[in-house]
Every structure is written in C-alpha cells, then in structure tokens.
Amino acid sequence: MNIVDLMPFSVLVPLIASAIVALLPGRTLPWAVTFLAALISAIIAALTLPAATEVTLSYPFGNWPPPIGIEYRVDAANAFVALLVSSMASLALLWARTSVNREVPRRQGPFYALFLLALAGLLGITMTGDAFNVFVFLEISSLATYALVAYGSDRRALLAAFRYLIMGTIGATFLLIGIAFLYMMTGTLNMADMAERLPEVRDTRAVRAALAFIIVGLGLKLALLPLHLWLPNAYAYAPNFVTVFLAGTATKVALYVMLRFIFTVFAPDYSFVVLPLATVLMVLAVAGMFAGSWVAMFQVHLKRMLAYSSVAQVGYMVLGVSLVTTAGLTAAFLHLFNHALIKTALFMAIGTVMYQTNSIKIDDLRGLGRQMPWTMTAFALAGLSIIGVPTTAGFISKWYLILAAIDVQAWWLVGLIVLTSMMAVVYIWRVVEAAWMTKRPADLPTVREAPLSLLLPTWLLVALNFYFGLDTRLTVGAASAAADVMLGAGLGGAAP
C-alpha cells in the first residue's frame, strides 16, 4: 500500500471509529478506541508529511478522476497542518482520561464519538482538495464541537455553545455563499481546477464578492478580531479536555483554509489586489494582538484569560500572512504549530488546577505554588514559551515574525510585536505571582498535587515546547516548505 492510498485513512479512521465508539459502553473502552484512532491518524499524517513535501499527493475518491470526483490533495502545507491536528489530538487524549471521568461521569461513548467527529472534520478540511467538501467537513466538525462545548458542567456552557452555534453557522453560511458564487462562475468545485479557471472571470463582481464572503466566513471560525466573540466563552465553559483540544487545533485549521483560498484558489496577485486585504488583515491582526492581550491582562477567570490570549496569538499569525512574503508566511505557519503546543500546555496546566481545586479564579490560586509545585511550574514554563523566551518554541515564532517585519522595513510592527509580548509577560506573571509570591489564605482549602495521569501529559507538552525551541529542523523546515507551496505553484502544481 503506497502512501497515496494510505493518506485518506488519516481522515477515515476517526470518522469510522466515531460510529463504533458511540455504541461502546462504559468509560475505558471508548477512550481506548478513540486514542487508538487518533494515534493511527497521527502516524499516517507523520508518514504523509515527508512524501508530500517532495511532491503534491493526490487521491481521487472512488477512482473518479478530478475534477469530476472528490480529490484529496496534500502538499507540504496541509500535510503539516494535518500532522499538527492529529498529533495534538493524540496528546490531548493522553491527558483526557482523568479529566473527562470527572466532567462526564455518565457513559462516555457519545462524548468521544463527538470528539472523533470533530477531529475527522478538522482533518477533512485540511486534506481535501474540493471546495464544497471543505464546507461539509467544516459543518461536521463545527456541529460536533457545539455539542462538545455544551457538555461543560457549568450551566453557562449551554449559552456559550448556543452563541458559538449562531456565530459558527453564520460563518459557515458565508463560506457556503462564497463557494456557491465560485461554482456559479467557474462551474467546478475542485480547488485546483477553480484556480485554473478563475483568471478568465477574475474581473467580475461575483468573484470579488466570493472572496469577501469566504474571508469573513473563515474569519469567524478563526476568531479574528472583531469576529472572535464566540471564542472566550466557548473556551471558558467547555469541558477542559475540549478546550485543550480546540485551543490547539480548531483555529489553526481555519487559518489554513483561509490561506488556501487566498493564496491558492485566488492567487495572491488577485486577492491582495482587488481587496485591500493586506491592510485589512494587518489592521485586524494588530488590533487582535492588542485587544486580546489587553483584555487577558485583566481576566480573573484563567480559562478566559488564556482564551483572550488566543485571540492575540491568532493576531500574530494573521500578521505574518498580511506581510505577503515568504518570510511572513513561514512565521505564520511556524506560529500556527508552536502556538498549538503552547496553548495546549497552558490549558492542560490550568485544567489540572481546576481538577484539583474546582476553581480557576486567580484569587483561588494564591499560594498554590507550594501545594501543586509541578502543575504550577509547568504553567510557568509554558508561560515562558508564550512570552517568547529563548529556548522555547514561542521564541522561534517571535524570531521569524520579527525577522519578517524587519525584512519589509516595517519597524512599527517590530515595536508592536515586542510590546504585546510584554503584555503576555504581565498576564502570565500575575498567575506566577499569585501562586508563589502570595501566602495561601487560611480560608482556601489545602490541595494536593494532581495525579500523574494529568501531570505527565502536561509535562510532555511542556517538554515539547522546549524541544521545538531547540530543535527547529522539523518546524522551520516544514513551515518554510508550506510557505513556498502557498506562494509558489500551489495546487496548480504537478501531481503524480
């Protein structure tokens, strides 16, 4: 079986497994099967990446040759994202078991089935070469995610899920309208085919409208300011495991699809010319960086704090994109990967705190550094990474982002990037100070260190943050290959 035939199973295994898991009784079995499915998916994605970096892989479903049938088309860019999504899912699952047992005490089959659906959806979006397929998978993952968020034990989770549902549906509808316009004008749904046919109709209002609709629709999914309103509550009230998973994957995939449309389907010399896209993205990115970090500095609820920090970090990625240079795109892809590592580690640490103390208000963390030293140290170390301290993954992102900004002589951007990094120092430092530099008030309960089943995965993520801060061959190599693909031949390139 060669790699091209194997590749679709990265999506199919979770999809099929979800049907099985939904029927499984009890708690251990569903988790085990889910983990196995995610792991297989990650292994396949890992095998795909080197092959896809060399040549673009194409798999026609049902042997219907594209553009008639649906095609999976994988190059350096989406192989990288697929690997990220599936491996983050596997890592999150390691952490999930203890946490989910607490938060979903009932039969867990349906819960994990939804999770697998969400995962399959995200992977499907990433790997497919068909525009309508993107929409279908987006809906699959979104619907599953709404339900997962609603699993949260806090009653506000229902409202958060509902809000997410409304906003998410608007976003998906916009995307669908955009794709419909494109289909109307080109008569094809295959993205590579679309890219070839678009130049003939490029100067029509419908195509311009399609671009705008798609960007707004995906902007909602991406939580790009000011379309981020669903995110803080959804992250804050979802079960911790769901937050951990979403923080590392969902927005990343949305960013990838947006890039795919902007750069490959429309081509940069179109999308950045007919719309003032570079300016719009840059302004929104900077606004997101600032507003997100600013609000995060004053959050009392730590999951909300990290959620707002995510809004800011999405800003960094979009900023890289808005420069429209190879360096900028490399920085965006790098941060896409690194931020997934950072945020997952941070949410795991905070989730562990919540597991032990049943609270994540910053005031309830006072003096916790002595009672849960390992958890809080993990948080602090992952915090270093989000600040961008050297030897962490976050530093590599910042390095490339600043380098990209210097490259285009955008000095003010350099200033803004470092300034928002300082804001990250503030919101991380608040927690560190509360945990270590304050005495634990007498009225707060004494807690013990968390169980190893939560600690070990958290520390694994922290270790990965440092590993990818030191060994950058995989990340930088894959990110620059992805950036080349986006700016270069793209989907129109040769396929075997």
Partner 1 sequence: MNLLALLPNIGLIGVVLLPFLGAVAIALAAARPGLRNALCWVSSVAFLLAVLGQVAPFLDGESSRQVVWQLLPELTIAFRLEPLGLIFLLLSSSLWLLATPYAIGYMAHGGYTNLGRFFACYAIALGAAAGIAVSDNLLTMFVFYEILSVSTYPLVAHTGTSKARRGARAYIALLLLTSICFWLPAMIWVWASTGSLDFVAGGILQGQVSTTAAGWMLVLFMFGTGKAALMPFHRWLPAAMVAPTPVSALLHAVAVVKAGVFVVLKLALYVFGIDFLREIAFSDFVLYVAAFTMLTASLIAMNQDNLKARLAYSTVSQLSYIVVGAMLASQLAAIGAGMHMVMHGYGKITLFFCAGAIYLASKKTLVSELDGLGRRMPFTMGAFLLGALCVIGIPPLGGLWSKWHLVTGAFDAGHGLILAAFLISTLLNIAYLLPPVLRAFLKPLPAGESGGIKEAPWICVVPLTLTAAGAVMLFFFAGLPFGLMEAVFE
**Contact positions vs partner 1 (CB under 8 A):** 387-391, 396, 398-399, 402-403, 406-407, 414-415, 418-419, 421-422, 425, 429, 433, 436-439, 470, 472, 476
Please, what's the largest Cα pairwise distance for the chain? 73
Residue located via tokens 């999504």: 85
Q: Which is nearer to partner 1, 291 or 414 (CB)?
A: 414
Q: In whole angstroms, what is the distance from residue 237 CA to residue 225 CA? A: 20
Nearest 5°: the CA angle 474, 478, 484 is 155
Burial (CB < 10 A; 0-12, 13-18, 19+), residue 448, is exposed
Give the nearest distance from C-beta 325 to partner 1 in angstroms.
13
Give the nearest distance from C-beta 401 to partner 1 in angstroms.
10
Residue located via tokens 């040759």: 65
Query: What pairing do the DSSP bridges indicate for beta strands 71-74 and 57-60?
Result: antiparallel
Give the nearest distance from C-beta 252 to partner 1 in angstroms.
23
Beta strands in 106-258 (DSSP E): none
Q: Which is nearer to partner 1, 456 or 470 (CB)?
A: 470
Query: Is omega for the bond preceding 441 within 30 degrees of 0, making it cis?
Result: no
Give the nearest distance from C-beta 340 to partner 1 in angstroms.
20
Other beta carbons less than 10 A from residue 14's beta carbon? 27
Give the nearest distance from C-beta 400 to partner 1 in angstroms.
9
Q: In whole angstroms, what is the distance from residue 276 CA to residue 281 CA? A: 9
Find all residues with CB under 8 Å of 252, minimum gap 6, and list them.
81, 84, 85, 336, 339, 340
Query: Is omega for the bond preceding 226 within 30 degrees of 0, making it cis?
Result: yes
Q: In whole angstroms, what is the distance from residue 71 CA to residue 342 CA? A: 33
Give the nearest distance from C-beta 105 to partner 1 in angstroms.
39
Q: Which is nearer to partner 1, 156 or 370 (CB)?
A: 370
Whether 423 and 293 have beta carbons less than 8 Å apart is answered as yes
Q: Which is nearer to partner 1, 254 or 402 (CB)?
A: 402
Q: Which is nearer to partner 1, 373 or 451 (CB)?
A: 373
For 128, phi then psi, to 5°, come to -75, 150
Q: Which is nearer to partner 1, 93 or 405 (CB)?
A: 405
Q: Which is nearer to partner 1, 191 or 417 (CB)?
A: 417
Q: In whole angstroms, what is the distance from residue 471 CA to residue 460 CA? A: 16
Q: Which is nearer to partner 1, 25 or 415 (CB)?
A: 415
SS3 category, 130: strand
Q: Which is nearer to partner 1, 477 or 493 (CB)?
A: 477
Give the nearest distance from C-beta 369 to partner 1 in angstroms.
11
Give the nearest distance from C-beta 472 to partner 1 in angstroms.
6
Q: In whole angstroms, what is the distance from residue 300 CA to residue 28 CA? A: 35
Overall residue count recorded for the chain in this entry = 496
Whether 134 and 179 have beta carbons less than 8 Å apart is answered as yes
Give the nearest distance from C-beta 492 to partner 1 in angstroms.
31
Distance of CA 461 to the CA centre of its chain: 15
Give the nearest distance from C-beta 335 to partner 1 in angstroms.
15
Q: Which is nearer to partner 1, 209 or 403 (CB)?
A: 403
- Paired with 58 in beta bridges are 73
Q: Which is nearer to partner 1, 58 or 330 (CB)?
A: 330
Q: Which is nearer to partner 1, 406 or 463 (CB)?
A: 406
Quick one: tokens of 397?
A: 């992102």
Q: In whole angstroms, what is the distance from residue 152 CA to residue 145 CA? A: 12
Residue located via tokens 């927690």: 431
Give the nearest distance from C-beta 380 to partner 1 in angstroms.
10
Q: In whole angstroms, what is the distance from residue 427 CA to residue 373 CA? A: 19
Give the nearest distance from C-beta 439 to partner 1 in angstroms.
7
Other beta carbons less than 10 A from residue 254's beta carbon? 25
Cα–Cα distances in Å, from 391 out to 99, 245, 463, 496?
Answer: 30, 25, 11, 40
